[in-house]
Each structure stands twice: as structure tokens, then as C-alpha cells.
Amino acid sequence: MTDSHVLQADNAPGLRAGNMKWKLTGLFTMIAILYAASFLYTGSSLADLWNGLPTIAAMFAQLFPPNWGYAGEAWLYLSETFHMAIIATTAAAVVCIPVSLMASSNIMQEQRVLYHLTKQVMNILRTIPDLLLAVIFVGIFGIGAFSGILALVIFSLGILAKLLAETVEAIDPEPLDAVRASGGSTLQVIWYAVIPQILPQYTSFSLYVFEINVRASLVLGFVGAGGIGQLLQRSISFMDYDRTMMIILIIFLAVVLIEYISGKIREAVL
């Protein structure tokens, strides 16, 4: 036997390929630099956090105990939040049906221009934050729940139409042929062959968007668009932190409850 079996520690390959090592180092350096830059740019410093800690601690101390007596008024505003979410979801769920059909390539085989246009408009709508929509509608229609509802409708329409269009594009095309071949009009094809195929997903997506709308409508009040947000903002700016805590508690309960119920229903329909 020659020395071929002697371990050669010098030539042993590293656990990572050399090239990989450099890539990782580069990546982490880049992240570190970006992070440092971000920190500088946002004027954040750990010193600020350190100095702010006593204030934060004092504020958190004041949050407790919550002002239980405030629950009644908080509930009043929270129910307005729910009303807004319910109306907005309903409106979006109705409007999204034609819109999502227009954004589905298999339905719009002939009207390509309309298809691309709808799709692009929906893509743009989805990039606009709900609160920004609310700011604009408050500017036009004035303070109140109506502006908030409009913002939620537009905002959820973008999401709902995209989800639904993806579902429509994945349906079985053969039943559509059958209805067409028996003399059905486009509307009849949609009603008898498309809608039944997407109904479970439609229900599920609408509930999902309802969940999103409940969350979104919690904060619309920050810009005067109705709901419990205005109460929250008021309590914080008046430093009524015990009220703030009560509002937070009630929001928390509501969100968890809604998501639980909605989740159960969605499981049942799919």
C-alpha cells in the first residue's frame, strides 16, 4: 500500500464551494451597508430607542388597567367599522364578477384590448394603499363612513378581481362549449357553465376579503373616514391611555373572532 490512504488535510475540500463563500460574504456585506444606510437615513438610532424607553415604559404602564367603562362607546364605533366592512365587501363582491370575467383570458378570447386594459387597471389599483384612497375620497366626499366605504370597495376590488380571475382562468372549458353548442348566449354561458364552477372559491375569497376589510377599516378613522380608528386616535392624542387599551382589547377580540368564524366557513365551503 502506498500513501494514497493517508489523510491529506491540506487539500480537503471546504464544506462550501469557494465561490459560494464569496457570494454569501458579498450578500451579507451589502445587507449590512444597506442597513446602516437605512438607519442613518431614517434617523433611527438605538440611542433614540434607549432615550425613548422610559417614555414607552411609562406609556405602557398607563395602558393598564384598561378603562372597562369605555367598552360601550368603543363598541358603538366598532360596529360602524363592521358596517363599513360589510357594505364594502358586498359591493366589491358584486362588482368583481364582471370585472374578473373581463380580466380572464379564456373568457375574453376575442376582446384582447379590454382584457389587457382591465388587468392593468386592477394591477395599478392593488398598488394604492387603502388609506391613501381614503384620504382622496375624504377630500372629495368629506369626512365620514361613505368615504371609507368607497376606499374599501376600490381597494378590495383589486384583490378580489385578481383572485377570481385566476380561478376563472383555471376552470374546465368543456362545459362552456356545451352551453355554447346548444345555442346559449354569452351571458347564459357565464351563468350556467362558469359561475357554478367558481362558486366555492368566490365565497371563500369574499370572506377572505371581508377579513382584510375589517382590519383595514379599523384604521380608516385616522384620516376621518369613519369607524373606530377616530376613537383610537383621539384617545392617544389626549393621552387617555386607559381608554386606548380598552379600544385595543376590543379590536383584538373582534379581529380574532372574525377570523375564526370566517376561517371556519371557508373551510366548510371549499
Contact 213, 156 (CB under 8 A): yes
C-beta of 264: minimal distance to other proteins in Å? Answer: 13
Q: How far apart are CA 90 and CA 225, in angstroms?
A: 18
C-beta of 164: minimal distance to other proteins in Å? Answer: 16
109 forms part of the interface with other proteins (CB under 8 A): no
**Distance, CA of 225 to chain centre:** 18
- Candidates 98, 191, 263, 264: give the one binding other proteins (CB under 8 A): 191
Among 22, 46, 164, 153, which residue's Cα sits nearest to residue 101? 164
C-beta of 162: minimal distance to other proteins in Å? Answer: 12
Q: What angle do CA 98, 205, 258 make, to 5 degrees?
A: 135
CB neighbour list of residue 104: distance below 8 Å, 6 or more residues apart: 115, 165, 168, 169
Contact 204, 266 (CB under 8 A): yes
Contact 249, 241 (CB under 8 A): no
C-beta of 69: minimal distance to other proteins in Å? Answer: 22
Contact positions with other proteins (CB under 8 A) in 151-170: none
- Candidates 123, 170, 264, 269: give the one binding other proteins (CB under 8 A): 123
C-beta of 5: minimal distance to other proteins in Å? Answer: 23
269 forms part of the interface with other proteins (CB under 8 A): no
Specify the stretch interacting with other proteins by CB under 8 A; choose among 3-11, 108-116, 132-140, 157-165: 132-140
Task: Give Cα separations from 256 to 9, 50, 86, 114, 253 (angstroms).
Answer: 58, 33, 17, 40, 5
Give a three-class secondary structure readout of 170-196: CCCCHHHHHHHHCCCCHHHHHHHHHHH
142 forms part of the interface with other proteins (CB under 8 A): yes
- Candidates 128, 166, 203, 242: give the one binding other proteins (CB under 8 A): 128
Three-class SS state of 12: coil
Specify the stretch interacting with other proteins by CB under 8 A; choose among 99-107, 108-116, 143-151, 157-165: 143-151
26 forms part of the interface with other proteins (CB under 8 A): no
C-beta of 196: minimal distance to other proteins in Å? Answer: 5
Contact positions with other proteins (CB under 8 A) in 209-268: 215-216, 218-219, 222-223, 232-233, 236-237, 239, 244, 248, 251-252, 255-256
- Candidates 12, 181, 267, 270: give the one binding other proteins (CB under 8 A): 181
- Which residue, 100 or 211, is less far from other proteins as judged by CB? 211
Contact positions with other proteins (CB under 8 A) in 67-96: 79-80, 82-84, 86-87
Number of residues that bind other proteins (CB under 8 A): 79
φ, ψ dihedrals at 173, nearest 5°: -75, -15
Handedness of CA 235, 233, 71, 252 (dihedral sign): negative
- Candidates 20, 21, 22, 35: give the one binding other proteins (CB under 8 A): 35
DSSP 8-state symbol, 270? -
